[in-house]
């Protein structure tokens, strides 16, 4: 009594304001924004803990993977049965989705029946509970005249915590919501359902998916709003799910895409994270519950507990004499006499006080007006705290999603279901306001779910069917780019045949095998200043290379790059070479050397037939060049004539070489074993040092000209001559051969691996029917092959929601450097989506995964084909030299090789597999096309000086 007197005295001054009296009494339930932010931060930390495999076991938030990988996109279709078990009633439904069912696209029709669950079943045996579920399903099929002649796909909403290893399997972790059916905890509930259906008999179903009610809610709302990636339940219990980045979910293999995670939000606080926010009433409620110490947050916010919390507060205040003049009725002392429905009724805008008075009178109390106002205010504080705590948890989820996606602002929709949210008159507005206040940078929309937990399960099954169907179709498309080991061996054999045929003096070959008249690689004695010129796929580059005396393998380079305009690339030959002469003059001006007559090496990255080291006739353009009056003409003469027309400077053009040869020479300056050059960039080509005796076409051309030395005479030259002796067979002389291997397949020899997409790219190219191997392997074409595949998949409804954008119709928009970016292991799918958006291709997460797979398939094939070709080259060199094992270095250049994250590794792996008797080192060139041309000029000048 003394305590009652003290408390009554303490509040005596506030008797005229019952709300202040309650505020003072329940000050611990008032949560301010800084406290909510603190709770939200703790929630985020617990989410991270639950996602980690190392800490999941001790985490309060279990962050359970659901194996739901996509929300609906409106194209789903099918007819499904659905079961919904999670509360006091159980539903069976028939759900029809989509156009195939005679419904508008994205539409859903449902027929349902609710079956009561006998009171003894939730706490009885698990087999009896599932037998009741199965009997209800059978009854529904009979009542609705649903045929039993065929197998029906079935979706199962099971609103209890489960650990899922697949979409249709789940081990029950623990019961909640007053369910305690025995024999099921730790067991697969889908298997239990199948067993019950088998026991009942007469029903043929296939369980496609088991989902939580929260996930089902998200899926239902996601059908109408593509931004819905969060589900929230505020009903008897509370929970939330959201789409998490798969790379953060340690419990599931893989890192591409997203997966819905069931947070089991109600367990937050089980580890003490909320201990400084828990009141004595929360502790009393928890102690009297069926699961003390568990589901702490749910007991502070869920509909099963709000009424009981209000009762405990009112009881304590009455005992202290703060209500009802200290009178306490037996009904007020009885657990469960105040429900959440009462809480909602007491907070109605107009009738709230009357409803409060009616409740109190039903509890055998005689309330005054002040008592009614105070009790109503207790209800408001308890429910307001509930919405605040849910807001803090939801803010944590949305913050994580925003951070995962590296966004400044997040546009998101939250699908919501649950009796508290639906029936409490103030709850939704309070929740919305607090979330938006805590996250002003997020645009959050709340959508109330319509039959969420039932319809959503069917939608999960429909999405799973759609994804499985799409997977099969995408795999069928990508299988066209998979090259078997047997096919690679055939490519190696065909390349070898092409190499041999190209060296012959008679007959034609798709592999041209053009002599370069470069007879040796650098020996380190090269000295002096040389001008190097390089016409490549997009640029013209001028360089000054200074090989320093006394410092072997040391050189200094100065360069300037000039972009070649498209109109020049496809204009007249005179315009092209005049443009190059203009660039050379500008560079010499820049270097202050316009009056010096420097020896120059000219790297010309297009197929040329050489008759000497400084004479090269253009065979054909490639890489997007189409300048007229060039094919069939000596490019060195054309350059000299352009320089003469300009009449500003003079050059001694000592050598013209292919960029591949220049790359080999540059790397050979660093590694004497380098006798092969490889380019994988805009174009694709290889050169190598061939035994001179095998180059029959060189002998034929020499004889036809009636000039120069014969092969036998060259063999007699000393070390200063053109021939170079090699390991293996003594006395063998060599010449570098520019294979122009990009022409392999021009004779139809690759038709068995060429896809319809390759054919489309070829037909739309500047040189249809030519350079077929290059069109399978080089950067100029790989992006276009990818675009053709994406276009086909989109037209088939498998990408970008079936909408073919103008961007996707645009040839050349998907450049090959995008393949390197998209396939980067360090690049998250969000960044892939950003790249696609820059191209005008608005994509979903699933679209981004498929685009990445397409890029991977196309580039992997390119790498394997290059590897098969290289295996043919190194094996030929080994056999030429009569060696059991060959050690050799390949100098490599080209943006695709250097920048693509996987191409080089796949290429090297293929070479090792197909040429096991060769040890091949790949040496990336730093300044191949420039330095190499200068080295060839230096080697040529050394010969003349001797």
Closest CA to 791 of 764, 771, 823, 825: 764
Contact 522, 939 (CB under 8 A): yes
Phi, psi of 777, rounded to the nearest 5 degrees:
-130, -15
The CA dihedral of 141, 147, 151, 154, to the nearest 10 degrees, is: -30
Phi, psi of 94, rounded to the nearest 5 degrees:
-110, 125
Contact 724, 665 (CB under 8 A): no
Residues paired with residue 155 on neighbouring β-strands, in sequence order: 82, 209
Cα 183 from chain centre: 41
Active site residues: 541, 605, 659
Residue 702 structure tokens = 């020499």
Contact 462, 468 (CB under 8 A): no
- CA distance linking residue 663 with residue 891, whole number of Å: 6
Angle of CA points 483, 484, 489, to nearest 5° = 100
Burial 754-765 (b: 16+ CB within 10 A, else e): bbebbebbbeeb
Closest CA to 805 of 787, 820, 819, 830: 787
- Kindly give the pairing relationship between strand 410-417 and strand 228-234: parallel
| 3-class DSSP assignment, residue 555 | strand
R_g of the chain computed on alpha carbons: 39
- CA distance linking residue 345 with residue 353, whole number of Å: 9
- CA distance linking residue 365 with residue 368, whole number of Å: 10
Contact 232, 394 (CB under 8 A): yes
Contact 627, 570 (CB under 8 A): yes
* Residue 749 Cα distances to 307, 586, 621, 752, 875, angstroms: 80, 46, 22, 8, 20
* Phi and psi based region of residue 797 (left: phi greater than 0; alpha: psi -120 to 50; beta: remaining): left
Residue 795 structure tokens = 């037209």
Closest CA to 735 of 776, 769, 767, 689: 689
Cα 191 from chain centre: 34
| 3-class DSSP assignment, residue 330 | helix
* Residue 917 Cα distances to 198, 871, 876, angstroms: 61, 10, 11
- Stated as kind and residue range, the H or E segment containing 374 is helix 369-404
Contact 933, 602 (CB under 8 A): yes
| 3-class DSSP assignment, residue 199 | helix
What SS3 string covers 116-148?
ECCCCHHHCEHHHHHHHHHHHHHHHHHHCCCCC
Closest CA to 741 of 494, 434, 388, 411: 494
User: Residue 898, class by beta-carbon neighbours within 10 Å (0-12 exposed, 13-18 middle, 19+ buried)?
Assistant: middle
Contact 493, 750 (CB under 8 A): no
Dihedral sign of CA atoms 782, 788, 794, 798 in order: negative
Residue 705 exposure: Cα atoms within 13 Å on the Cβ side: 13
* Residue 648 Cα distances to 153, 560, 582, 884, angstroms: 82, 19, 9, 56
* Residue 814 Cα distances to 766, 795, 803, 821, angstroms: 17, 17, 17, 12
- CA distance linking residue 670 with residue 928, whole number of Å: 11
């Amino acid at each position: 009594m003394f305590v009652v007197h003290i408390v009554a005295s303490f509040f005596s001054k506030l008797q005229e304001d019952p709300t202040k009296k309650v505020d003072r009494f329940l000050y611990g339930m008032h949560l301010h924004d800084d406290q909510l932010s603190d709770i939200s931060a703790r929630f985020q930390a617990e989410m991270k803990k639950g996602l980690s495999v190392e800490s999941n076991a001790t985490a309060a938030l279990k962050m359970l993977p659901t194996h739901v990988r996509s929300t609906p996109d409106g194209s789903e279709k099918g007819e499904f049965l659905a079961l919904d078990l999670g509360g006091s009633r159980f539903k069976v439904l028939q759900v029809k989705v989509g156009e195939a069912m005679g419904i508008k696209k994205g539409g859903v029709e449902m027929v349902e029946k609710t079956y009561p669950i006998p009171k003894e079943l939730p706490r009885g045996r698990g087999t009896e509970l599932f037998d009741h579920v199965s009997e209800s399903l059978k009854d529904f099929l009979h009542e609705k005249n649903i045929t039993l002649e065929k197998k029906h796909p079935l979706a199962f909403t099971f609103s209890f915590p489960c650990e899922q290893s697949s979409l249709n399997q789940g081990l029950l972790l623990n019961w909640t919501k007053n369910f305690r059916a025995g024999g099921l905890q730790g067991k697969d509930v889908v298997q239990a359902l199948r067993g019950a259906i088998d026991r009942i008999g007469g029903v043929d179903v296939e369980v496609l998916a088991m989902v939580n009610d929260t996930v089902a809610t998200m899926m239902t709302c996601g059908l109408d709003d593509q931004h819905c990636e969060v589900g929230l339940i505020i009903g008897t219990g509370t929970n939330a799910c959201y789409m998490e980045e798969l790379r953060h979910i340690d419990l599931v293999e893989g890192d591409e895409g997203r997966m819905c995670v069931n947070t089991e939000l109600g367990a937050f606080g089980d580890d003490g994270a909320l201990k400084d926010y828990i009141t004595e009433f929360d502790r009393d409620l928890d102690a009297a519950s069926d699961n003390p110490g568990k589901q702490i947050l749910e007991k502070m916010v869920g509909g099963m507990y709000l009424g009981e919390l209000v009762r405990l507060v009112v009881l304590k205040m009455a005992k202290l004499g703060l209500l009802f003049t200290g009178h306490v009725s037996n009904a007020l002392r009885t657990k469960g006499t105040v429900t959440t429905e009462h809480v909602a009724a007491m907070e109605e805008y107009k009738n709230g006080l009357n409803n409060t008075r009616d409740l109190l009178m039903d509890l055998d109390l005689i309330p005054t007006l002040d008592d009614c106002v105070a009790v109503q205010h207790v209800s408001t504080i308890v429910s307001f705290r509930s919405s605040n705590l849910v807001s803090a948890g939801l803010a944590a989820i949305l913050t994580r999603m925003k951070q995962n996606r590296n966004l400044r602002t997040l546009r998101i929709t939250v699908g919501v279901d649950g009796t508290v949210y639906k029936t409490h008159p103030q709850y939704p507005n309070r929740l919305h306001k607090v979330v938006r206040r805590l996250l002003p940078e997020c645009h959050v929309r709340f959508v109330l779910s319509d039959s969420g937990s039932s319809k959503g399960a069917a939608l999960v099954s429909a999405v799973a069917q759609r994804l499985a169907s799409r997977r099969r179709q995408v795999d069928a498309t990508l299988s066209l780019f998979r090259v078997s080991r047997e096919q690679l061996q055939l490519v190696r054999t065909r390349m070898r045949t092409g190499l041999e045929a190209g060296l012959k003096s008679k007959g034609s070959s798709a592999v041209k095998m053009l002599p370069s008249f470069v007879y040796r690689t650098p020996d380190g004695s090269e000295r002096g200043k040389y001008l190097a010129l390089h016409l490549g796929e997009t640029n013209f580059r001028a360089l000054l290379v200074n090989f320093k005396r006394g410092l072997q393998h040391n050189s200094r380079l100065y360069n300037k790059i000039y972009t070649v305009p498209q109109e020049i690339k496809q204009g007249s030959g005179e315009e092209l070479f005049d443009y190059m002469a203009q660039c050379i003059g500008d560079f010499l001006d820049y270097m202050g050397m316009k009056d010096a007559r420097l020896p120059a090496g000219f790297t010309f990255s297009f197929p040329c037939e050489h008759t000497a080291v400084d004479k090269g006739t253009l065979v054909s353009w490639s890489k997007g060049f189409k300048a007229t009056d060039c094919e069939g003409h000596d490019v060195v003469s054309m350059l000299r004539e352009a320089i003469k027309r300009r009449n500003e400077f003079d050059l001694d053009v000592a050598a013209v070489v292919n960029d591949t040869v220049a790359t080999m020479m540059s790397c050979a300056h660093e590694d004497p074993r380098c006798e092969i050059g490889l380019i994988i960039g805009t174009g694709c080509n290889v050169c190598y040092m061939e035994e001179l005796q095998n180059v029959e076409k060189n002998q034929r051309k020499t004889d036809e000209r009636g000039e120069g030395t014969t092969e036998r005479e060259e063999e007699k030259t000393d070390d200063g001559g053109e021939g170079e002796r090699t390991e293996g067979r003594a006395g063998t002389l060599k010449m570098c051969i520019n294979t122009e291997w990009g022409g392999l397949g021009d004779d139809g020899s690759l038709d068995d691996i060429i896809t319809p997409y390759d054919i489309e790219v070829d037909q739309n190219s500047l040189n249809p029917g030519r350079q077929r191997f290059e069109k399978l392997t080089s950067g100029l074409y790989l992006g276009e092959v990818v675009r053709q595949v994406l276009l086909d998949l989109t037209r088939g409804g498998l990408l970008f929601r079936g909408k073919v954008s103008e961007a996707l119709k645009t040839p050349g928009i998907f450049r090959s450097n995008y393949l390197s970016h998209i396939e980067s292991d360090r690049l998250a799918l969000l960044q892939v989506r950003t790249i696609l958006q820059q191209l005008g291709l608005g994509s979903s997460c699933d679209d981004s995964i498929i685009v990445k797979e397409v890029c991977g398939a196309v580039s992997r094939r390119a790498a394997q084909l290059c590897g098969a070709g290289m295996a043919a080259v190194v094996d030929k060199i080994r056999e030429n030299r009569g060696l059991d094992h060959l050690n050799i270095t390949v100098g490599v250049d080209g943006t695709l090789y250097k920048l693509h994250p996987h191409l080089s590794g796949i290429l090297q792996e293929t070479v090792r597999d197909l040429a096991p008797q060769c040890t091949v080192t790949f040496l990336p060139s730093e300044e191949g096309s420039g330095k190499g041309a200068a080295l060839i000029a230096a080697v040529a000048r050394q010969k003349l000086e001797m």
